[in-house]
Amino acid sequence: MGEALQTALADRYDALSGSLRDRLISFVLSAFDSLGSYRDADAAAFIERVLPVVLATQQQMGQITDAYLSAMIADMLGSAAAPAGVQLDAALRGVAPAEVYTRPFVTTWTALSKGKAYADAVAEGRTRLLSITETDLQLARTQSARTSMERGGARFFRRRLNKSSGTCALCVIASTQRYRVENLMPIHPGCHCKPEPLPGNRDPGHVIDEQLLKDAHDAIARDLGESDRGGRAPDYRNVIITRQHGEYGPLLAVRRQNFTGPNDIPS
């Protein structure tokens, strides 16, 4: 069927995954907002109520991602789609989910300990909860995608932008590159991009969309007042990089960004 079917598959997947994400975020934030206070007992009650729904939605994200990619690969290869299902580890980050979803409360408590107003402290906790929930769903997407594409025989994939939810400059530039299936797609908090297999087993080369890369460079050059005609100077491949995050895995980042490491923790 080719491009028409693949576009239809992608649109349907975007609609399903977007609906999953929106429903979960609405549920989680509403549960947080409805708490009478944000003490230890409230945190425990919140986790007991929310965590089963979070984990079930992550599994659903894995299943629809597997179905989508299986259909895409089958169409590219001219074979029958055969999604086998993906079972994700509940601890997507390698950390117990209950610990992860206690962190918004820790953020709230920390803000209060610094003398911030109650409403502002709760708002900081809520923002962290939103980031955690979105990131966990994206991890469910990328981890299931790697399993599905490896099983389907794909060797390379690209980062497909989600135009309906807005796209950052990091993702635009990263979307012009090809990735190897054995590697997880780099993400960042709030990322809504999806992996998309590339047809064939021949390496298409590092840059797969020269025009988009040029357009992105030109836009950045306009903002920075620097020209990039012909030589890619400055080389944004040295500015936008992938770091290895202890929980997320590959993390799309700007080189100048700094992250807290073990040596930064007071003894």
- The DSSP code sequence of the chain is -THHHHHHHHHHHHHHHHHHHHHHHHHHHHHHHT-S--SHHHHHHHHHHHHHHHHHHHHHHHHHHHHHHHHHHHHHHTS----------S-TTSS-HHHHTTHHHHHHHHHHHTT--HHHHHHHHHHHHHHHHHHHHHHHHHHHHHHHHHHHT--EEEEE--GGG---HHHHHHTTBEEETTSPPPB-TT---EEEEPSSSS---SBS-HHHHHHHHHHHHHHHT---TTT-SS-GGGTEEEEEETTTEEEEEETT-----GGGS--
Asked whether residue 123 carries a pLDDT value surpassing 80, the answer given is: yes
Question: 178 - beta bridge partners?
Answer: 158
pLDDT at 260: 53
pLDDT band (50, 70, 90) for residue 238: low
How many Cα atoms sit within 13 Å of 96 on the Cβ side? 4
- When pLDDT is averaged across residues 147-171 and rounded to a whole number, the result is 77
End-to-end CA distance of the chain: 61
pLDDT above 80 (res 64): yes
pLDDT of residue 63: 94
Q: What distance in Å separates the CA atoms of residue 235 and residue 214, rounded to the nearest whole number?
A: 12
Selection from 1-10, 151-160, 178-187 with the highest mean pLDDT: 151-160
pLDDT of the residue at 263: 54
Residue 157's contacts (CB-CB under 8 Å, 6 or more residues apart) are: 145, 149, 178, 179, 181, 185, 195, 196, 197, 198
Per the DSSP assignment, residues forming a β-bridge with 249 are 245
Residue the block writes with tokens 């992860």 = 100
CA 109 to chain centroid, in Å, comes to 27
**Spatial separation of the C-alpha atoms in residues 245 and 187, rounded to whole Å:** 10
235 — pLDDT class (breaks 50, 70, 90): low
| Average model confidence (pLDDT) across the chain | 80
Residue 217 pLDDT exceeds 70: no
Q: How confident is the model at residue 89 (pLDDT cuts 50, 70, 90)?
A: confident
Q: Among the ranges 82-91, 131-140, 207-216, which has the highest mean pLDDT value? A: 131-140
Which amino acid is located at 52 in the chain? P
With CA atoms as reference, report the closest residue to 58 among 21, 85, 12: 21
DSSP string for residues in 49-99: HHHHHHHHHHHHHHHHHHHHHHHHHHHHHTS----------S-TTSS-HHH
Q: So what's the pLDDT on residue 231? A: 43
Report, as an integer, the average pLDDT of 126-130.
96
What pLDDT sits at residue 48? 97
Q: Is the pLDDT of residue 227 over 70?
A: no
- The total of other beta-carbon atoms located within 10 Å of residue 42's CB is 15
Mean pLDDT of 206-216: 71
Question: Which pLDDT value is given to residue 30?
Answer: 98
Can you give the pLDDT at residue 229?
42
For the segment 184-191, the average pLDDT, to the nearest whole number, is 67
CA distances, 99 to each of 63, 96, 216 (Å): 25, 5, 39
Residue from 230, 206, 209, 208 nearest 218 by CA: 230
Check whether 94 has a pLDDT greater than 90: no
Average pLDDT over residues 43-68: 95
120 has a pLDDT exceeding 80: yes
